Structure 1
Amino acid sequence: MYVNYLVCYDVSDSTRRKKFSDSLKELGLVPLQKSVFYGGLNPPEARSLEVLARKVLLDEEDRCLWFPCHLDINKVRACLGYRDFQYVEADGYLFL
């Protein structure tokens, strides 16, 4: 079962920021802005997100929020700069 998450972060170091951003993309999250990601995670992926944040980011220097959130895509498209935004909800696993 997938739950949509919103992840927002402010990371001071470019190397840590890039590593974290790339890892969020690998989890299947979609960037809404440079430091804001959204997408469906299953329970193990959600746990991986927390482990990743605590491993890569520094509590003393960086900030990161992650929480379950459902965005109405039509409302997102009504906001500035998101007219053509596309998002496909996860519906299971793809086996190759």
Structure 2
Amino acid sequence: MNDFSDYESFRPNMTREEVLVWFQRRLNRPPEAFDIYQVTLPGAALPGRHLLGYCYLNLGESERALREFKKCVKEGYHDDWQLVIELTVEIEAKRRQEALNA
């Protein structure tokens, strides 16, 4: 889990660059949309991750969606198990088909 315990230094009137620097210092990597969501709505991380998974799925980014749904299951949202299984089967079938076509 990310360490965002220093909420006081995060101000709503920060510029985009200041926000990116704030996250970079805490994460030691460039921030992702989920990181920003987690700070702006503490306690909403799991529902946010679940919705992020659906966003990736609707954008056709199955592997990224699978990664988010797996994290949801790991964090205790077990309703996503079926999506994890279905996406795993779908991605593997696609890989096999691509291997046959190559």
The reply to whether TM is greater than 0.5 is no
Structure with the higher fraction of residues in strand conformation: 1
Q: TM-score, normalised by structure 2?
A: 0.30
Q: Larger RCO: Structure 1 or Structure 2 (Cα < 8 Å, ≥ 6 residues apart)?
A: 1
Q: TM-score, normalised by structure 1?
A: 0.31
Structure with the higher fraction of residues in helix conformation: 2
